[in-house]
């Protein structure tokens, strides 16, 4: 596991390229340790997760290791160390999918907030083909992202999904050339870092909570967070933030040709860059 922290962004790289970054027990433990450490690092506001090499983001659990050291019950489900570490992070996460994201590796990506794919990215859920059931959230996250019919298709067949289709289905935010993947992800991270940290955390929690409850319950939760944000509201800092936000918005507006609506740069252009 490689950890690089720069300008408020932590980049975690699964580093077993010869094994397609398969999740051995040692690598899982290293990832948990990294996420746990970053959760309390006030200098880090965004975490990017990617894989080493050009072929794979992560091929899932190390099947060769599982032949003699299989996963244990405590490694699975919402109380597994990996799942707890993602929940406890409470910072925006970006998955930079540089290649194959398979089975458990697919689940890793789905535990991130925003997915960005290289044109080389491929996704597949082969749990059922090897006689297993997803244990790190795939059966719950995937239908919410792409709909139950498409999720069933992927999980029932184990078929591979290319990057362009993943974009069309709403699984990923953008598909970019391989050499543009990390710059794009770091650009998104810089945009995120411009937000108030406390508000950003609450917005993330409101979205996550709402995905698991009714609309009415979600609105109540949002209202509670909104009231909490008022308690920490500071007028002096708001004035500066408001001015910076307005200036940023003006800079993003593209002058529109006659008869066409203005829109921010990149709008509708996420397919190819």
Dump pLDDT digits (tens) for 64-89. Answer: 777 677 778 888 889 999 999 999 99
Cβ-based neighbours of 197, under 8 Å, separated by 6 or more: 45
Reported pTM: 0.88
Q: What's the distance, CA 233 to chain centroid?
A: 29
User: What mean pLDDT is predicted for residues 14-32?
Assistant: 94
Please write the tens of the pLDDT for every residue from 34-46.
999 999 999 999 9
Determine the average pLDDT of the residues in 9-21. Answer: 95
pLDDT at residue number 76: 86
- 116 forms beta bridges with 96, 174
């Amino acid at each position: 596991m490689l950890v690089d922290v720069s300008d408020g962004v932590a980049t975690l790289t699964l580093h077993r390229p010869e094994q397609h970054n398969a999740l051995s027990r040692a690598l899982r433990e290293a990832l948990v340790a990294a996420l746990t450490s970053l959760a309390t690092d006030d200098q880090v506001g965004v975490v990017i997760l990617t894989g080493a090499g050009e072929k794979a983001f992560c091929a899932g659990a190390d099947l060769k290791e599982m032949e003699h050291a299989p996963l244990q019950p405590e490694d699975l489900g919402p109380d597994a160390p990996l799942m707890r570490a993602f929940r406890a992070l409470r910072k925006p996460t970006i998955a930079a999918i540089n290649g194959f994201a398979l089975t458990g590796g697919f689940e890793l990506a789905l535990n991130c907030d925003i997915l960005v794919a290289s044109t080389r990215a491929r996704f597949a859920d082969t749990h059922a083909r090897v006689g297993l059931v997803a244990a790190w959230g795939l059966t719950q996250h995937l239908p919410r992202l792409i709909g139950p019919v498409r999720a069933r298709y992927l999980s029932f067949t184990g078929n591979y999904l290319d990057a362009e289709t993943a974009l069309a289905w709403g699984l990923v935010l953008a598909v970019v050339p391989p050499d543009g993947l990390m710059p794009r992800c770091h650009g998104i991270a810089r945009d995120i870092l411009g937000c108030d940290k406390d508000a950003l955390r609450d917005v993330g929690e409101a979205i996550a909570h709402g995905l698991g409850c009714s609309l009415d319950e979600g609105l109540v939760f949002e209202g509670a967070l909104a009231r909490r944000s008022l308690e920490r509201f500071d007028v002096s800092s708001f004035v500066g933030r408001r001015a910076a936000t307005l200036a940023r918005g003006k800079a993003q507006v593209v002058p529109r040709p006659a008869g066409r609506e203005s829109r921010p740069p990149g709008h509708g252009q996420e397919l190819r860059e």
